[in-house]
């Protein structure tokens, strides 16, 4: 027996009120590709590569949905990620942020739409915000030099719930020294003491997010920018400097006193040591210039006759004449 023709089957089906099966719309529009979830501090941004272009001139829009590990798929509340033209969905600051924080397992999925055409859903891998986030460095870091110390103040990278806490490690070093690590610290104020005075120290702060009661959850950490400061003098160093200056002053006073005493005691010898050396007479210098000259002529050449000359000689009176004059007067 031959099978009935196809037109007869079609007539029987549609004649009985049956509807034709819908076309497979998934095969008509390509799905988004390369989903990427950006988790940095409190930022949560899902991005993807657009669907390949088609000959259709209608715009391509995207829809984003989420679900928890034991829930159903839902649209993201308070964040417009339905029928959007851009290829990312920013959950930061919206209702999704409150839903996706903490340690709840979350799935995200995206599909493309173009008019009546729809692509398949593309699902991202599950994530836990506190376990998969990259923790940035502290904010508002200030470093104040102290007496042989550095005082550090800062703010946490972002707000967290009671399920987790921040720990900080300080990596510091002299400009020409080796790196050291201090920590962990839980407070936002840290003092690095026992440092050398008047030395330049550089430091970086590392932030770690510690999830309580979950040792296998270790999110990525990051370092702050390098900050350098010079320490000031310690109290005992200032005292030492004062004592050193006082000792130098006393030593100088003692040395000056000893020098003055020795000068008074050996004054004649000091004068002898510091007196000018004897000069060679000019006649001898002339003779040494020309030794062939007779030495006596050289000595008489420059002798001044004024030294032995007398302008006049007069005798005022003699003792005998004075006595006779006195007797005659009497």
Residue 193 lies in a domain: yes
Residue 115 lies in a domain: yes
- pLDDT higher than 90, residue 167: yes
Q: Same domain, yes or no, for 29 and 126?
A: yes
Residue 6 lies in a domain: no
Q: At what angle do helices 267-274 and 235-265 cross, to 10 degrees?
A: 90
Domain ends where: 112, 131, 150? 131
Amino acid 204: pLDDT: 93
Domain ends where: 174, 209, 233? 233
The domain total for the chain is 4
CA separation for the pair 85, 63 (Å, rounded): 9
Read off the pLDDT of residues 65-89 as tens digits, 9 standing for 90 and up.
988 887 788 887 778 888 999 999 8
CB 211 within 8 A of CB 131: yes
Read off the pLDDT of residues 235-291 as tens digits, 9 standing for 90 and up.
555 666 677 778 888 888 888 888 877 777 777 776 666 666 666 666 666 666 666
Q: Which bin fits 183, alpha (ψ -120 to 50), beta or left (φ > 0)? A: left
Q: Same domain, yes or no, for 122 and 164?
A: no
CA separation for the pair 180, 148 (Å, rounded): 16
Amino acid 112: pLDDT: 92
Q: Same domain, yes or no, for 224 and 138?
A: yes
Q: Same domain, yes or no, for 204 and 243?
A: no
Domain hosting 156: range is 134-233
Amino acid 77: pLDDT: 76
The whole-number average pLDDT for the span 4-20 is 42
Residue 75 lies in a domain: yes
> Which stretches of 16-120 are DSSP H helices?
95-100
pTM of the model: 0.60
Residue 318 lies in a domain: no
């Amino acid at each position: 027996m031959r099978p009935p023709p196809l037109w007869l089957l079609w007539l029987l089906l549609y004649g009985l009120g049956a509807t034709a099966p819908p076309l497979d719309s998934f095969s008509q529009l390509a799905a988004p590709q390369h989903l990427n979830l950006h988790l940095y501090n409190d930022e949560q941004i899902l991005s993807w590569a657009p669907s390949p272009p088609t000959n259709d001139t209608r715009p391509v829009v995207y829809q984003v949905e989420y679900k928890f590990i034991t829930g159903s798929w839902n649209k993201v509340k308070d964040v417009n990620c339905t029928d959007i033209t851009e290829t990312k969905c920013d959950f930061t600051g919206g209702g999704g942020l409150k839903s996706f924080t903490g340690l709840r397992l979350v799935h995200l999925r995206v599909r493309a739409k173009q008019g009546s055409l729809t692509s398949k859903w593309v699902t991202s891998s599950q994530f836990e915000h506190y376990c998969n986030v990259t923790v940035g460095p502290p904010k508002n870091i200030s470093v104040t030099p102290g007496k042989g110390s550095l005082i550090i103040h800062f703010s946490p990278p972002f707000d967290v719930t009671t399920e987790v806490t921040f720990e900080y490690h300080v990596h510091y070093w002299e400009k020409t020294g080796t790196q050291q690590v201090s920590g962990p610290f839980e407070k936002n104020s840290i003092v690095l003491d026992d440092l050398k005075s008047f030395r330049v120290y550089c430091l970086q702060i590392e932030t770690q997010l510690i999830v309580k009661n979950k040792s296998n959850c270790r999110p990525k950490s990051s370092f702050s920018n390098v900050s350098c400061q010079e320490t000031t003098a310690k109290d005992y160093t200032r005292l030492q400097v004062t004592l050193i200056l006082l000792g130098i002053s006393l030593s100088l006073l003692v040395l000056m006193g000893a020098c003055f005493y020795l000068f008074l005691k050996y004054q004649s010898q000091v004068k002898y040591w510091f007196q000018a050396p004897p000069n060679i007479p000019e006649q001898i210098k002339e003779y040494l210039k020309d030794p062939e000259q007779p030495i006596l002529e050289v000595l008489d050449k420059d002798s001044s006759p004024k030294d032995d000359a007398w302008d006049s000689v007069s005798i005022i009176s003699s003792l005998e004449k004075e006595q006779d004059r006195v007797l005659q007067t009497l």
